Amino acid sequence: MLNSILTNTFSINTFLICITASLILGALIAWVHSRYNNSSKGFVMTIALLPAIVQMVILLVNGNLGTGVAVMGAFSLVRFRSIPGNAKEISSIFMAMAIGLATGTGYVAVAVLFVIIVGGVSVVYNITCFGEPRQKEKELKITIPEGVDYMEIYNDLFKKYTTKTELIKAKTTNMGSLYKLDYRISLKNQAEEKLFIDELRCRNGNLEITCGKVTAGSDEL
């Protein structure tokens, strides 16, 4: 039942079965990814089409070592110029490639089972709290005058409102008259965020303060 549908004689019917399975399964993986992640349309389309592309390459080089080495050499010359992907995007790419490899070698039933099992587990992981940190970190950005010692001024407030505080970066701005401090914090009580910011404002002369979700870096791969 799970044997390859490919035989020594390649037929158009076999090709159509493989390409149809690749497109349908690729679209399913792309839909699951787009449902739980904020990715561009171009990336989602790539995920949907990648299994068919990989399957075509595998079908063409199947059983021919020389052609396989030549194709690998051609792919090694390709340089992907894009923004770094996060861990979820990389996992979706590998899933799409695995589907293409399975359908390209004729194991269509295996590819279908793979999508059902791994896709289902992926949905469960996304809708549950699996893997989420117990305390969600936030990014805190504070602007202070240049004459203030930023290493000590907020220590008591951090001790009062946060369980973890890390100074990530400090830089000068406005011709050196201001400092911008970037912190990574974990609040003891999310409901006290406004009180925390109000007390920070009293210390920095009511200059700009930003507190929000960590934008990038933690889930990059």
Fold of 138-213: Alpha-Beta Plaits (3.30.70)
Q: For 119-132, how does the pLDDT look when each residue is reduced to its tens digit (9 = 90+)?
A: 899 889 888 877 77
d(CA 195, CA 175): 31
pTM for this entry:
0.66
Domain regions of the chain by residue span: 12-127, 138-213
- pLDDT bin (cut points 50, 70, 90) of residue 81 is very low
d(CA 32, CA 29): 5
The helix, strand and coil proportions of the chain, stated in percent and rounded to the nearest 5, come to 55, 15, 30
d(CA 154, CA 159): 9
In 37-104, where does DSSP find H-type helix? 41-61, 65-76, 87-104
Q: How high is the mean pLDDT of the chain? A: 83
